[in-house]
Structure 1
Amino acid sequence: MYLLSSHPFMQFVAWLLVVVGALNWGLVGLGYFLGSDWNVVYMILGSFPVVEALVYVLVGLSGLYMLVGYKK
């Protein structure tokens, strides 16, 4: 149950961004062990550093939104 009442679309976007962030970090870690760089966000948006940073900020804010808004 979420404490923060918001539109279901907002919750879906937050969930989607958290999943993207989690998968990206998993690939970064796996790439480290295999001697490669698998940061998908950088691969896609590397030539647009401001947009890349914005994606990271949105992923972090989405994680906070889900953490603060979740109640057992």
Structure 2
Amino acid sequence: MKTLDVIALTLVIIGAVNWGLIGFFSFDLVAAIFGVMTGFSRVIYALIGLAGLYAITFYGKNNSNNQ
């Protein structure tokens, strides 16, 4: 895997764990660590969102490897 792919996948996993914690326990891990909607927490949320959008390209990469 390319470095960017690993970083994106790691951020997507962090986002998924955070959403799981919010859904099951009403606990926002990012807000607990970095503060509620501070500038830095907004950057973290934005990076996780961008990583999720980038991760969509994994579908195309997977199909091109199978042919």
- TM-score, normalising length from structure 1? 0.75
Alignment match, 2:19? 25
User: Unaligned 5+ residue runs, structure 1?
Assistant: 1-6, 33-37
> SS of the counterpart of 1:70?
helix
Q: Does 1:39 pair with 2:28? A: yes
> 1:8 aligns to what?
2
1:54 aligns with 2:48: no
User: In 1, Cα distance between the equivalents of 2:37 and 2:54?
Assistant: 26
The answer to whether structure 1 residue 66 and structure 2 residue 55 are counterparts is: yes
How far apart in 2 are the matches of 1:13 and 1:68? 14
What CA RMSD, in Å, does the superposition of the two structures yield over aligned residues? 1.8
TM-score by length of 2: 0.80
**Residue range with higher mean Cα deviation, 60-69 or 18-27:** 60-69
Report the Cα distance in structure 1 between the residues aligned to 2:59 and 2:43, rounded to whole angstroms: 24
In percent, how many aligned pairs have the same letter?
Answer: 34
Paired with 2:2 and 2:28, the residues of 1 have a C-alpha distance of 29
Q: State the alpha-carbon separation in 2 of the partners of residues 65 and 28 from structure 1.
A: 23
Show structure 1 runs of 4+ deviating over 6 A.
none
Question: RCO (CA 8 Å, sep 6+): is it higher in 1 or 2?
Answer: 1
